[in-house]
């Protein structure tokens, strides 16, 4: 029920004409990115070997499965781990911007929302930038690699990103939970929602959570 109430509130805000159009488009992008990261993570990155999704998205599927194999129970990485499974590269962020824009334009047209089309790519790029920078920081930290890992292909690790807050700690704990349940839940990584809607959210025990 929490997931239903959550998305009902977001839908009301997106439809609220009292809010600025760009703010509504950004909220719509939140919904689009939340749905996309859940769908892609669950059914493409964890697609069963040989399925159509596995064949089409083999590049991401193989890398992500390897990432799970490279991760120890304490979230540290094996010495020979593939570092490409840690960060979002530029291609991923660009595709996310494109897909977010298309979803937004589709929802606006289907629901006949009074929102302009031209700011849609800007709203998508804004959310994609936030999504990529935050994830590249949090995911690196969750595996204890902040002192040893750097990359050129992808949004940078930004130390200034605030992580000493409940939202960031929740995201870290949520991702630890994804590994703890063997990739069978907690598919949302930055924008929560669908896990609660579809019953795939798993809460860790207190001794497994990130300390405040």
Integer Cα distance of 4 and 19 in angstroms: 22
Nearest CA-CA partner of 142 in 168, 113, 104: 168
Q: Is the pLDDT of residue 140 over 70?
A: yes
Q: Is the pLDDT of residue 209 over 70?
A: no
- In angstroms, the Cα distances linking 203 to 40, 169, 171, 176 are 21, 13, 11, 10
pLDDT in tens, 24-71: 999 999 999 999 999 999 999 999 989 999 999 998 999 999 999 999
Integer Cα distance of 32 and 154 in angstroms: 21
Confidence band, pLDDT 50/70/90 cuts, at residue 99:
very high
Integer Cα distance of 120 and 26 in angstroms: 8
DSSP at 68: H
DSSP states along 82-115: -GGGTS--HHHHHHHHHHHHHHHHHHHHHHT---
Phi, psi of 105 (to 5 degrees): -60, -40
Integer Cα distance of 103 and 186 in angstroms: 22
């Amino acid at each position: 029920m929490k997931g239903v109430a959550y998305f009902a509130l977001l839908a009301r805000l997106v439809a609220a004409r009292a809010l600025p159009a760009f703010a509504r488009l950004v909220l719509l992008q939140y919904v689009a990115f939340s749905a996309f990261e859940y769908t892609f993570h669950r059914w493409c990155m964890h697609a069963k070997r040989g399925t159509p999704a596995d064949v089409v998205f083999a590049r991401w599927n193989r890398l992500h499965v390897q990432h799970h194999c490279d991760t120890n129970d304490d979230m540290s990485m094996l010495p020979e781990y593939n570092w490409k499974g840690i960060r979002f590269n530029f291609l991923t962020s660009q595709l996310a911007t494109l897909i977010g824009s298309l979803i937004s334009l589709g929802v606006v047209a289907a629901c006949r929302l009074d929102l302009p089309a031209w700011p849609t790519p800007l709203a998508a790029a804004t959310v994609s930038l936030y999504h990529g920078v935050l994830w590249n920081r949090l995911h690196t930290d969750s595996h204890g690699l902040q002192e040893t890992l750097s990359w050129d292909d992808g949004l940078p690790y930004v130390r200034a990103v605030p992580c000493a807050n409940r939202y960031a700690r929740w995201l870290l704990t949520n991702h630890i939970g994804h590994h703890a349940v063997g990739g069978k839940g907690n598919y949302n990584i930055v924008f929560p929602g669908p896990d609660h809607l579809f019953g795939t959210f798993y809460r860790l025990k207190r001794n497994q959570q990130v300390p405040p």
